[in-house]
Amino acid sequence: MDTTTQLKAEILRLTREYAKLAHQSNRPGNDVQRAETTPFVPGETTVPYAGRVFDENEVEAAVSSTLDFWLTLGKEGDAFEREFAHYLGVKSTTLVNSGSSANLLAIAALTSPTLGERQLRRGDEVITVAAGFPTTVAPLLQNGLVPVFIDNDEATLNAKVEQLEDAFVPGKTKAVMMAHTLGNPFDLATITEFCRRNNLWLIEDNCDALGSRYDGKLTGTFGDLSTQSFYPPHHLTLGEGGAVSVVNIAGLRKLVESFRDWGRDCWCASGVDNTCHKRWGWKLGELPEGYDHKYIYSHFGYNLKPLDIQAAIGREQFKKLPSFIEARTRNWETLRSGLAGLEEFFDFMLPTHATHWSPEGFSWDDSGHRADCSWFGFMMLVKPGAPFSRKEFAAHLDAAKIGSRMLFGGNLVRQPAFTALRRQNPDAFRVIGDLSGADRIMKSAIFVGVYPGLSDEMLDYIPATIRNFCETRSPVNRPAVAGMAA
């Protein structure tokens, strides 16, 4: 063993030792080492809504990759892309620097002139949903497309699919793009049939839903393209990062990679030359024949690549995905059971096609379809007749050091960027109906965490705190609340 190999081995040994000591609080919620070193103190210890969950394996991977100092995407990135695509069962996966970039890249790829009649052109319409995260919609506007907003269902938080036909305009509508809200698959049976019937692109924003299934099949595998986020609150983290997956149409991979990598026509990886074996034999555009293919640009692209160090971290995170999904499902069920009996105060989120929750499980509609959620959060909607507002409830959670979030941007058309856009260009987007569901979600919805870093003590503390809040704001000796802890 040479000196550098010995030194690296010793550095990595010490790295693991350091990480075990320094990052105890980032281990899974019920990890024994974490419980011994960072005990939970109700009311003093913060209960995050989300966060990084990792151990010494991720830290070692990051340091090892850094010592190699390739830095830009390389062998770790290639391996992560292959492993992720294999997990989903899709044609390919392309890493990018964020989930927002993944959404931008997915839409940009569909604007390529090489797609002929199916190219998304300025002024084309794309159906989306009103309440959600802004970067599901922003790429449409950034590429000169017209978002058409349909409403959200207040129980599933996903699109009201009965509005799809009202949103559709023959010859103008070219795609559907929406997210699986908080890990809850949208009605994929209805939407995929609608897209096939009308020859529309379907882009799944799967950023909050890695591991969710619809009729037994993973989300992110139903559309033409799907996107992923690896920001710390999500199911896996690379620190920053995201991905675009090509589901079935292999030719889309070259477009995705072109727009990610400056818009170049060449598909060589960084540090690799002449993959096509005709680097000096191309004649494209008005360039002279034989112009270096590495510097021929077929699209107006970006540079959206992450680092190979991030991919190294992601490969270790990926090994933990089954346990992460299991924890998210278990934690959601624990919270729902702990809050049973508070239905007079809150409407609780339901999986798509579910009609009711009980301790025995969900009841389902007669469609025959089922949604199996890898939950991102536990959502509650404060009822209109509740003796408190969402604002008061959020302040109480805050005071109790329980992290919470709204449903991101709420009804996006109420956001300052959209109201300013509507004043400047009334035709920049369209709205179907009154968006009453999205408005209610904006005014009443709040969610707490289910991420794998929550301990049993935290999962007991959250519903106990919420119950106490409801009791103190209810009429004295109200039977519906007094015995709820049983």
Catalytic site residues? 234
Q: Retrieve residue 300's tokens.
A: 């107006």
What does the alpha-carbon distance between residue 350 and residue 156 come to, in Å, rounded to a whole number?
5
* DSSP run (H or E) holding 322: helix 321-338
What does the alpha-carbon distance between residue 311 and residue 322 come to, in Å, rounded to a whole number?
18
Strands 371-372, 445-449: pairing kind:
unpaired
Contact of 74 with 270, CB cutoff 8 Å = yes
Strand order in the sheet with 445-449: 346-348, 377-382, 445-449
Cα–Cα distances (Å) from 179 to 101, 103, 136, 231, 286, in that order, read 15, 10, 7, 16, 41
Range list of β-strands (E), 240-393: 242-246, 346-348, 354-358, 361-364, 371-372, 377-382
Q: Is the dihedral of CA 380, 381, 384, 387 positive or negative?
A: positive
Q: List residues bridging with 72 in a β-sheet.
A: 307
User: Identity (one letter) of the amino acid at 381?
Assistant: L
What does the alpha-carbon distance between residue 151 and residue 351 come to, in Å, rounded to a whole number?
17
Buried b (16+ CB within 10 A) or exposed e, 359-389: eeeeebeeeebbbbbbbbbbbbbbeeebebe
Shortest CA distance to 451 belongs to which of 362, 398, 374, 383? Answer: 374
What does the alpha-carbon distance between residue 365 and residue 384 come to, in Å, rounded to a whole number?
26
* DSSP run (H or E) holding 195: helix 188-198
Contact of 70 with 308, CB cutoff 8 Å = yes
Reading phi first (left if > 0) and then psi (alpha if -120 to 50, else beta), residue 201 is in beta
Q: Retrieve residue 410's tokens.
A: 């709420």
What does the alpha-carbon distance between residue 51 and residue 362 come to, in Å, rounded to a whole number?
28
Q: Retrieve residue 163's tokens.
A: 């509005």
